[in-house]
Amino acid sequence: MSNVETIKTKNTNSIFQFIKALIISLIITFACIIVFAIVIKVAKLDDGVIVPVNMIIKAISILVGTIIFTKSREKGLIKGLIFAAAYTLLSFIIFSALAHEFVFNFSLILDFIFSMIVGAITGIIRVNAKK
């Protein structure tokens, strides 16, 4: 196999891993949000728990997605940042569309920064951890 074919195969695998990671992360997010909504309804929890639990759900989803995306165990920081940015953007679009409301505010910026930190740290740990 030539170098060009190897690079094309590697890029195709990377794109496939990226899409797979996004889909799995979004499924995790949706499943966790549905379970959390049921828990809130049944347990009549205070609204103050919503933001921290949503952050935990987001962190878990980004963590899982970044692990999947960095399967090749290379470029962890870059892949973690790219994945976190894409996940955050896509989840913002999906949930805003579901709510029929696109709100750009400081909270969204903080959410993006949080996601980027989780993605970067996960990517770095993933590529440097022993197999």
Q: What is the pTM assigned to this prediction?
A: 0.89
- Do 50 and 40 form a contact (C-beta atoms < 8 A)? yes
Sorted by where each begins, the domain ranges of the chain are 3-128
In tens, the pLDDT along 20-68 reads 999 999 999 999 999 999 999 899 888 889 999 999 999 999 999 999 9
Whole-angstrom Cα distance, residue 112 to residue 118?
Answer: 10
What tokens does 20 get? 């797979």
Whole-angstrom Cα distance, residue 87 to residue 68?
Answer: 13
Q: Which residue has the higher pLDDT, 29 or 8?
A: 29
User: Which own/partner pairs from 7-12 qualify as long-range (CB within 8 Å, at least 24 positions apart)?
Assistant: 10/72
